[in-house]
A and B are shown apart, each in its own frame.
Chain A
């Protein structure tokens, strides 16, 4: 497991660095004189840096959890709906360039929640990233946000792909767990995204789980408590 992890981390860090470096060299050599080519390279460099940023953040968060048992969060009261909209706006171009349809159906929260924006952002990015990796191109990713009757805010990331791998969905959240066949299929990842996502959501007093969509696809659900209720707890 440890050897696999080191190999996966090496691959996940070094491959995007190699890509960015190669594309920067081509740009510097004036290969991409064509504006369309220049744009393609710039977009890809942006994608690779996003991917790299997520991987580095996951590694740092996971090692922080390992060392201290918890994540240090900086939380401010805010509308989780706004955060979801921001994240989707940020990654939508990336998803669409990769052939995904993105549907956003978010309603403003009835009550604010105490959130660490950066940490929750990375949770949502991880969920969207997983949808891209495991659902396959041409699929639709739907992000839904609603207040529940008890004031909690429920965020769903739903795809219409192949669904969850067989077995207990809870194991997806274990550290170093890789999706079924991910290694064989060379699907990028280091097995930390969902582990870190759970740590972050639970540190907010919330819950995160995965389930199959009966009509086909996977659904990841994040439920966050409202600010006041959480302050009392």
Chain B
């Protein structure tokens, strides 16, 4: 079984690094881009098991990336990250086809696995590589990769 493949779209250097580490520590494959146009290209080129998408990006904002991916029929689950917390902003993101929405400053533990995995599982395609059961290791880290015996 293939290991889940995650696309992180976050232009902030430090937050990007932390997000990449959070997924890589659990043995998942991670692509990281810092530009909206690059995110769109990657998202059009292949399906990801999860796209973590920041909104305020150089090149093209996250709303536009999401809109264009959905318009092109791409169904990768999308979890939006934003500093804007107003109701209408959240609704706007979901209207454009995002699966879930997390407001900064979020807890990494909330992002992954709680919301990220929920997002992936709600995805309509059912082609997701995520395991159907989830538990946490004693240290509190997600341990899906090891349980499912995927290459890490």
Contacts and interface: CB of A to CB of B under 8 A. Distances in A.
- Asked whether A and B interact, the reply is yes
A22 B83 contact: no
Contact of A15 (B15, B17, B21, B25): B15
Nearest to A6: B84
A4 to B, nearest CB: 11
Interface stretch (A24-32, A79-87, A199-207): A24-32
Interface residues of B, number: 28
Contacts of A10: 83-85
Interface string A87-121: 00000000000000000000000000000000000
Given A15-B104, A44-B14, A22 B19 contact: yes
Interface string A180-199: 00001111100000000000
Contacts of B133: none
Contacts of B85: 10
Interface in B101-140: 103-109, 139-140
> Interface centre among B18, B105, B108, B109, by most A CB within 10 Å?
B18
A184 B60 CA distance: 8
Interface string B58-90: 100000000000000000000001011100000
Given A18-B81, A19-B14, A21-B105, 20 more contacts: A10-B84, A10-B85, A13-B83, A15-B105, A16-B12, A16-B14, A17-B104, A18-B106, A19-B12, A19-B18, A20-B14, A22-B19, A26-B25, A26-B108, A29-B141, A30-B139, A31-B22, A31-B141, A44-B17, A47-B14
5 contacts: A10-B85, A29-B139, A31-B21, A32-B21, A44-B13
Interface of B: 11-15, 17-19, 21-22, 25, 56-58, 81, 83-85, 103-109, 139-141
